């Protein structure tokens, strides 16, 4: 029980750090691998080299066509940096990949918040989830763990009753297609795009660049506590063949608790790069076999 309880605490920590995950869910206890490759905290997406010339207007890009292009992706990988503003508060470095045709995915995540540094390697395949985690405080190891477990069992032990996710099937759907800025930037972009009223497209060198403002509001009730979550900001996408290869999201998220005089606001910047391949890291190959 102590082991499960510690994992739950870490899962809740990651949810509060990312602060803008759709449906207020966190799918993995984000702590750090000892027997797997640890993601680098200094990896910053560099992105395509854009032209220094003045951007020119591009042909109109249809919102529905762009959403359809995102939904048609069969596999992709990403690198990502998430930082709260000011940057000293929280920083998340992530790398991951999806093969939707095989229902396989992996994540390598490093989170720095205050004195804590949390690492997590995680992979999902078939009906299994594997995670390897490690947490340090002031440079000292305070927790590490790794486990291979069936998705249904993981749902029952860690997810059920602590989020709005009601079934193992819904949990699996959230893993692969949940709108999460640090774990699935393409589907998070798609979610924001659906709330956009207009797009602006320009041409920068060889790339089309699309920008759009967004504003969302959700009401979430869990354990008799209701909160109103408002998220707004701006998205900028560099497109190649009608798909993003780089993106930047500036957002402000405000959470108001109904009946309580409690309001929290988070400002963050998300930068990511995307390639439309799926290559398993060596640690994933060893886990899956």
Predicted local distance difference test score (pLDDT) of residue 223 = 84
Tokens 């957002």 label which residue? 251
Confidence at 57, pLDDT banded by 50, 70, 90: low
Range among 40-44, 54-58, 207-211 rated most confident: 207-211
Taking the C-alpha atoms of residue 283 and residue 53, their distance in angstroms, rounded to an integer, is: 43
pTM: 0.81
28 vs 188: which has the higher pLDDT:
188
Phi-psi region of 11 (alpha: psi -120 to 50; beta: other; left: phi over 0): alpha
Write down the residue that tokens 């900001």 correspond to: 233
Better pLDDT: 84 or 14: 84
- Band (65; pLDDT cuts 50, 70, 90): very high
DSSP notation for 194-255: HT-S--EEEEETTEEEEEEEEEEEEEEEETTEEEEEEEEEEEEEEEETTEEEEEEEEEEEEE
CA 272 remoteness from chain centre: 10
20 Cα distance to chain centroid: 9
Percent of the chain whose pLDDT exceeds 90: 69
* Residue 9 reports pLDDT greater than 80: no
Give residue for tokens 């069969």.
74
pLDDT in tens, 78-98: 999 999 987 667 899 999 999
- The rounded distance, in Å, linking the Cα atoms of 122 and 7 is 14
Mark out the alpha helices in 72-205 (DSSP H runs). Answer: 151-154, 168-177, 185-194
- How does pLDDT run across 217-256, given as a tens digit for each residue? 999 998 888 999 999 999 999 999 999 999 999 999 999 9
pLDDT digits (tens, 9 = 90+) for 174-224: 999 999 999 999 999 999 999 999 999 999 888 999 999 999 999 999 888
Q: What pLDDT sits at residue 14?
A: 38
**What would the two tokens of residue 60 be?**
């109109």
Q: Examine the pLDDT at 139 and tell me if it is beyond 70.
A: yes
Taking the C-alpha atoms of residue 23 and residue 265, their distance in angstroms, rounded to an integer, is 17
Q: Is the pLDDT of residue 112 over 60?
A: yes
| The pair of three-digit structure tokens given for residue 226, joined into one six-digit string | 């209701």
Q: Which two tokens stand for residue 112?
A: 């720095």
Higher pLDDT, 35 or 237: 237
């Amino acid at each position: 029980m102590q082991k499960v309880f510690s994992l739950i605490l870490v899962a809740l920590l990651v949810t509060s750090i990312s602060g803008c995950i759709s449906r207020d869910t966190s799918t993995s206890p984000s702590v750090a691998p000892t027997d797997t490759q640890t993601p680098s905290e200094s990896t910053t997406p560099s992105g395509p080299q854009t032209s220094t010339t003045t951007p020119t207007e591009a042909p109109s890009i249809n919102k529905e066509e762009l959403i359809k292009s995102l939904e048609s992706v069969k596999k992709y990988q990403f690198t990502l940096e998430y930082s709260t503003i000011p940057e000293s508060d929280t920083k998340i470095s992530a790398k991951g990949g999806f093969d939707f045709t095989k229902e396989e995915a992996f994540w390598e995540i490093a989170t720095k918040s205050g004195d804590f540094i949390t690492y997590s390697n995680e992979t999902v395949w078939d009906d299994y989830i594997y995670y390897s985690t490690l947490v340090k405080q002031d440079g000292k190891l305070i927790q590490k763990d790794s486990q291979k477990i069936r998705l249904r069992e993981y749902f029952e032990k860690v997810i059920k009753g602590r989020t709005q996710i009601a079934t193992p099937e819904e949990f699996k759907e959230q893993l692969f297609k949940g709108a999460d800025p640090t774990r699935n930037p393409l589907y998070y972009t798609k979610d924001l795009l659906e709330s956009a009223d207009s797009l602006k497209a320009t041409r920068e060198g060889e790339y089309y660049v699309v920008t759009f403002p967004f504003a969302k509001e959700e009401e979430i009730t869990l354990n008799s506590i209701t909160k109103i979550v408002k998220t707004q900001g701006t998205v900028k996408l560099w497109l190649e063949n009608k798909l993003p290869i780089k993106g930047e999201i500036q957002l402000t998220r405000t959470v108001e608790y109904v009946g309580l005089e409690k309001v929290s606001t988070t400002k963050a910047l998300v930068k990511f790069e995307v390639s439309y391949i799926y290559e398993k890291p060596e640690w994933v190959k060893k886990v899956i076999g």
